[in-house]
């Protein structure tokens, strides 16, 4: 997890822990420890806490669950992350009747004295970038939670910079915004209005006089580069602003007059590795998803938005993958079914090429993690596969490829 726990320079002395024990994790009788924590705000972002929810047996019998402190909410409530990457609010005090014992990790993330690996349910190996991403995601959710409760700003630290104040919106009644009701914060993090009208998807878009504020990270409903009107009173730092769009805390970026919004969006997406044509690679040790699960992660989007599509006819990959999902299995098992049910002879070269194309498409999904629904080359491969199947269905003994170019949508 990076083991970057930060309990503050004076925490050891505040808790009365002997100096020799501080680097090996902090230990106090649970009642005293939780009484201190219940004061609120003692656990800084990045702290690792080990919580035992079992009331009997003692060390060696109980299981300690590792918790990464993300943000202090209120009183003894903290936003935490679990080893399964769940993000939630937990009451870390004696007021939580489910907690029997609680231990703090060392200043450098060391496991507390007396706790072995056999009694800890902890995080696996993740790097600093992944850890910081988890902290950032959790902090955004914590901002919304504090806003819902009408709580003021808190200090946020532990992400490669000094602690900074993040303004938090006050809880106000929702207002109509673009036809939908969204929370309207009063100060600090402001609600941005709906995107301004304009062309999207690969067209050159120059920022008009006066500049423009564009979305700097994608949301569930909007893309990088969508233009928003900056609300009055939004928290700004340089050329960036923190706003609320729908129910998400988002960052807007200011672009100056004459800047190409499309070029900025593409460069920003490349930096964030946000390419719709690919899917995320698995973490080390992650259980490999099935072919059907990977297909479920694919998003279909029109081909030829950024170029002239040389193929004639509607895309077929999305339809073909849904058919595979209905049948079950993957593309290699589909090939075997076709071979046994089509009546084609095993010695026919068509069988070899059908198998090869099935392997190509299967490997593209399962190993290269490509989104077949957004790649023109994969559309061509699928049409070739379907051409073989169509020719064999008409005459398994002597398939005809008359009109093959027309079938595949290849222009003369």
Q: State whether the Cα torsion 147-152-158-161 is positive or negative.
A: positive
Q: Can you tell me the distance from the alpha carbon of 63 to that of 224, in angstroms, rounded to the nearest whole number? A: 44
Residues 306 and 71: their CA atoms lie apart, in Å, by 42
**pTM confidence score:** 0.45
Can you give the length of the chain in residues? 412
Q: What is the pLDDT of residue 161?
A: 27
Tokens of 25: 């994790």
Task: Find out whether 404 and 387 touch, Cβ atoms under 8 Å.
Answer: yes
- Answer for the pair 269, 225: CB distance below 8 angstroms, yes or no: no
What does the alpha-carbon distance between residue 272 and residue 252 come to, in Å, rounded to a whole number? 15
Secondary structure E strands in 132-277: 154-156, 164-166, 175-177, 180-182, 190-191, 212-215, 227-228, 235-237, 240-245, 248-255
Give me 57's structure tokens: 């047996």
Q: What is the pLDDT of residue 113?
A: 83
CA distances from 94 to 54, 73, 77 (A): 14, 17, 12
CB 204 within 8 A of CB 256: no
HSE value, Cβ hemisphere, 13 Å, CA-based, for 360 = 14
Q: Tally Cβ neighbours within 10 Å of residue 290.
A: 12
Beta bridge partners of 255: 212
What are the residue ranges in the chain where pLDDT is below 50?
A: 1-30, 38-39, 57-60, 153-188, 194, 196-203
**Rounded Cα gap, residues 338 and 356, in angstroms:** 14
How high is the pLDDT of residue 176?
29
CA distance 91 to 233: 33
Per-residue pLDDT at 37: 53
What pLDDT is attached to residue 54?
66
Three-state SS at 394: helix
Backbone phi and psi for residue 21, each to the nearest 5 degrees, phi listed first: -95, -10
Q: Of 274, 226, 267, give the one whose Cα is nearest residue 250.
A: 226
For position 157, what pLDDT does the model report?
Answer: 34
Separation of alpha carbons 48 and 1, rounded Å = 10
């Amino acid at each position: 997890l990076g083991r970057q726990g930060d309990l503050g320079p004076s925490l050891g002395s505040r808790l009365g822990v002997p100096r020799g024990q501080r680097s090996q994790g902090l230990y106090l009788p649970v009642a005293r420890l939780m009484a201190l924590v219940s004061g609120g705000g003692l656990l800084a972002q990045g702290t690792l806490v080990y919580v035992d929810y079992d009331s009997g047996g003692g060390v060696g019998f109980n299981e300690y669950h590792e918790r990464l402190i993300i943000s202090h909410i209120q009183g003894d409530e903290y936003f935490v992350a679990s080893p399964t990457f769940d993000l939630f609010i937990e009451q870390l005090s004696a007021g939580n009747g489910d907690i029997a014992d609680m231990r703090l990790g060392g200043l450098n993330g060391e496991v507390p004295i007396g706790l072995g690996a056999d009694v800890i349910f902890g995080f696996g190996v993740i790097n600093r970038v992944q850890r910081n991403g988890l902290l950032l995601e959790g902090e955004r959710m914590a901002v919304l939670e504090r806003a819902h409760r009408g709580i003021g700003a808190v200090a946020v630290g532990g992400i490669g910079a000094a602690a900074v104040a993040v303004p938090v919106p006050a809880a106000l009644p929702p207002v109509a915004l673009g036809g939908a009701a969204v929370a309207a914060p009063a100060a600090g993090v402001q609600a941005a209005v709906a995107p301004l009208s304009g062309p999207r998807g690969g067209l050159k878009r120059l920022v008009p006089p006066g500049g423009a504020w564009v979305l700097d990270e994608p949301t569930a409903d909007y893309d990088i580069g969508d233009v928003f009107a900056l609300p009055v009173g939004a928290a700004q730092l340089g050329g960036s602003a923190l706003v609320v769009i729908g129910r998400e805390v988002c960052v807007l970026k200011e672009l100056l007059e004459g800047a190409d919004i499309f070029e900025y969006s593409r460069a920003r997406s490349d930096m964030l590795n946000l390419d719709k044509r690919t899917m995320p690679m698995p973490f080390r040790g992650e259980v490999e998803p099935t072919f059907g699960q990977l297909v479920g992660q694919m998003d279909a989007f029109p081909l030829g938005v950024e170029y002239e599509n040389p193929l004639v006819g509607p895309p077929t990959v999305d339809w073909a993958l849904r058919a595979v999902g209905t049948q079950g299995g993957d593309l290699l098992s589909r090939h075997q079914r076709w071979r046994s049910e089509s009546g084609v002879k095993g010695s026919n070269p068509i069988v070899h090429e059908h198998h090869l194309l099935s392997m190509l498409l299967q490997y593209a999904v399962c190993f290269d993690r490509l989104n077949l629904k957004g790649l023109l080359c994969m559309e061509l491969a699928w049409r070739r596969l379907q051409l073989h199947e169509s020719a064999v269905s008409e005459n398994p003994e002597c398939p005809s490829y008359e009109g093959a170019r027309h079938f595949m949508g290849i222009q003369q």
